[in-house]
Amino acid sequence: MNDRITKLQNQFKEKNIDCFLVTSKENIFYLTGFTGDSGLLFIAPRKALLITDYRFQGEIVDKVKNSDVCVTRKAYIEELSSHRIAKRKSRIGFEATDISYGLYWELRKKFDWLKFKSFDSFVEDLRITKTKEEIGKIKKACGILDKSFEEAISYIKEGVTETDIAIELEYRMKKAGGEKLAFETIVASGYRSSIPHGVASNKKIKKGEFITIDFGTTYEWYNSDITRTAFLGTPTKKDKEIYETVYNAQKLAIESVKENMRTRDLDKIARDFISKSGFGDYFSHSLGHGVGLGVHEKPSISKKDKHSLKKGMVFTIEPGIYIPGYQGVRIEDTIALEGSNPTLLTNSKRELMVL
């Protein structure tokens, strides 16, 4: 934790700031270990101050060792303005993607001598590579997904609703040790499987349909993500062709992962394969995304991204084909680049499951 704050402080001169305000609860946790859901972290060149309220006094704030802690009953900005750590500064950075409009103007009023500079991804740029401990937590969360899916797959039968399946799966994840949902569970069957993010509805499952299930959970704040597509009944030749195209595109992409590879090139490998198979118009999203404290974070595995793959990155590979008015297929796995080869953190069966 000390190293993380120091790494930020060492960039202050380059970023043309002399202090930084962290408001994202995920970033506060990443930098300090604070597990409360409300607080501000003010980082000066040589020290840091965490401000939170009386609800988190005791065990939660006692875990914070690398910054001063102030437990207050005042508004956080009012409390911050009374501390010397915030004095004699001239340029402050803040998290543009997290701070509210109201809090921003409250800051401007209380610190009217400061020049403000917004950042879209200051702490997030540190989070892009994970330690072995972080990867271990993501792996634990992924193991919960595999176990839960294995238990819940037999629940899929003709006549049950998409919502029924989502509830069963969420129960299994919670029972297996998942702390909370990483995102709203997606269960999309038949024509709805052609909607990439078709959250579970009251539609009943029928024979002759694909059922796409996209779900995730957290373990000690770290997220996991997986998608599997099963088929109820007897798939047609076209259905098999769609599934095999997605399956082989993902397999090819996973086998192509290597350190220093550009993310856009990885996206292109899967995209070109799907296009050459005749389904290029039906792959409508990026190939993947980073996973960590956020279920969607850097890097983006997309044709517009400028990152290169580095050791310690954790990301998904999730090609899909979505044919409007027909059906769709997506297969997604979470992957860690720990050494020269990728490590699959999700390991449920990827071949077509015919139920």
Mind listing the pLDDT tens digit for each residue in 27-40?
Answer: 999 999 999 999 99
**What is the tally of structural domains in the chain?**
2
Q: Are residues 109 and 168 in the same domain?
A: no
- Write down which residue in 127, 158, 192 finishes a domain: 127
Average predicted confidence (pLDDT) for the chain = 96
- CATH classification at residue 334: 3.90.230.10
Alpha carbons 184 and 199: distance in angstroms, whole number: 7
Tell whether 108 and 139 lie within a shared domain.
no
CA of residue 9 relative to chain centroid, distance: 26
Residues 37 and 109 in one domain: yes
Task: Give the domain CATH number at 123.
Answer: 3.40.350.10
Shared domain for 303 and 168, answered yes or no, is yes
- Same domain for 182 and 115, yes or no, is no
Place of tokens 């899916």: 149
Tell me: do 97 and 143 sit in the same domain: no
Residue 1 confidence (pLDDT):
67
Residues 94 and 161 both lie in one domain: no
Q: pLDDT by residue (tens digit) across 250-285? A: 999 999 999 999 999 999 999 999 999 999 999 999
Element (H, E) at 245: helix 237-256
pLDDT confidence of residue 132: 96
Domain span at residue 346 reads 132-354
Are 241 and 268 within one domain?
A: yes
When pLDDT is averaged across residues 295-300 and rounded to a whole number, the result is 97
Q: Of 101, 127, 153, which residue sits at a domain end?
A: 127
pLDDT of residue 195: 96
Please list, residue by residue across 84-101, b when 16 or more beta carbons sit within 10 angstroms of its beta carbon and e when fewer do: ebbeebeebbbbeebbee
Q: What pLDDT is stored for residue 23 in this prediction?
A: 97
The span from the CA of 10 to the CA of 17, in Å, is 11
The answer to whether residues 116 and 156 belong to one domain is: no
Mean pLDDT of 199-223: 97
Last residue of a domain, one of 67, 102, 127: 127
Burial class (CB in 10 A: 0-12, 13-18, 19+), 143: middle
Whether 142 shows a pLDDT value over 90: the answer reads yes
Distance between CA atoms of 155 and 172, rounded to whole angstroms? 11
Whether the per-residue pLDDT at 2 is higher than 70: the answer is: no
Same domain, 171 and 265: yes
pLDDT band at 220; cut points 50, 70, 90: very high
Phi and psi at residue 133, to the nearest 5°: -65, -45
pLDDT (0 to 100) of residue 208: 97
**Are residues 193 and 270 both part of a single domain?**
yes
The answer on 121 and 218 residing in a single domain is: no
